[in-house]
Amino acid sequence: MTNKFALRAGLSAAILLALASTGAMAAANEAQQEANRKAVLAFYEKGLNQKDADAALAYVGDRYVQHNPNAADGPEGFKKFIGFLREKFPNSHSEIKRSFVDGDYVILHVHAVREPGTRGNAIVDIFKLENGKIVEHWDVVQPVPENPANNNTMF
């Protein structure tokens, strides 16, 4: 009878330990995802709104792969894009409407207006992070139409 009790107690302890480990891993994963979200939001604010490429690049990893066919890879490509915005559209502003996190990916739904008073663009930006740093970027851009086919907003 003692062996059965010891076996059950050992099994119960192993199950509790496994559950505790799973909970700790989930909490760590959630914390990393929130850190990823904060890094992308800071990158976006520093780069796109403040037009400070150097400050934004603090959130970028050793590599920066750009999937937008109109932008070059790497920090220099990003600096060139921010320089273009600063020169041609100094009053541009991007308002993040919502953000989503899935593991190492952060997705933003953005209303970007290059010239105040214009309708701007609806953008979905997708960022991949490694070790808390941005390493890849994709985006989909759609102009906000003057006469939409429905009364729904894009945001």
Strand partners, 138: 126
* Residue 12 clears pLDDT 80, i.e. is over it: no
CATH number at 2-143:
3.10.450.50
Residue 24 is predicted with a pLDDT of 81
pLDDT band at 117 (very low <50, low <70, confident <90, very high): very high
The one-letter code for the residue type at 103 is G
Residue 110 is predicted with a pLDDT of 98
Residue 27 is predicted with a pLDDT of 85
In the chain, where are the structural domains located?
2-143
Separation CA 77–CA 89 (nearest Å): 17
Give the mean pLDDT of the chain.
92
